[in-house]
Amino acid sequence: MDIAGINRNPADLILTLEEAKTWREKLREQQLDLVITNGCFDLLHRGHAEYMMRARSLGEVMLVLINSDSSVQKLKGPTRPLIDEYSRAYMLCALESVDAVVTFSTPRCDDMFRALQPDVYVKGGDYDINSINPEEKAALLEVGAEIKFLPFVDGFSTTDIINKIKAED
């Protein structure tokens, strides 16, 4: 995998957890800081793109953990996701700021955080240190990850876009 992003195929950047663990070891050998974020990223929009760019600026390599289709449905309801997990992963990998994506079906990412040991963990502005999942927070602190929160880009949210489309029907 070429983290420089030149002539890369987004499909090649969609990893299993086992592949990501091997990749993480190579990053450690190269002394590259790994930034991880996670979420649904159902309908990719400017807010997501700007968030990824800002998150990536906090380290040298960016990994995004995305909720599987079944996980999104549990979180967002029976009409979601709008975009299937492979397509969401592909679109994220097409962003220059994203180096790889791993899909997860578990309710939490604490085991993934322990396995991948990020240097930096980033979450959106709707969270703070007290509202992130306690098990995830414990795992991040256990591996020594720095926890950062980034503000939202005003006017961009998947729910708002969906509501706007419905209003135009």
Tokens of residue 169, six digits: 């029907």
Tell me the helix, strand and coil percentages in the chain, rounded to 5.
Answer: 45, 20, 40
- Mean pLDDT, all residues of the chain: 92
Bridge-based pairing of strands 14-15 and 120-124 is unpaired
Nearest to 33 by CA among 167, 155, 158, 148: 148
What is the helix (H) or strand (E) element at residue 111, kind and residue range?
helix 110-116
List, in order of start, the domains of the chain with CATH numbers. Answer: 10-168 (3.40.50.620)
Rounded alpha-carbon distances, angstroms, from residue 159 to 3, 39, 162: 32, 14, 5
Rounded to 5°, angle at Cα 14 from 11 and 15: 140
Between residues 5 and 156, the one the model is more confident about: 156
Specify the pTM. 0.91
Q: What is the pLDDT of residues 7-36, one digit of tens each?
A: 689 999 999 999 999 999 999 999 999 999
Q: What is the pLDDT of residues 135-162, one digit of tens each?
A: 999 999 999 999 999 987 777 777 777 7
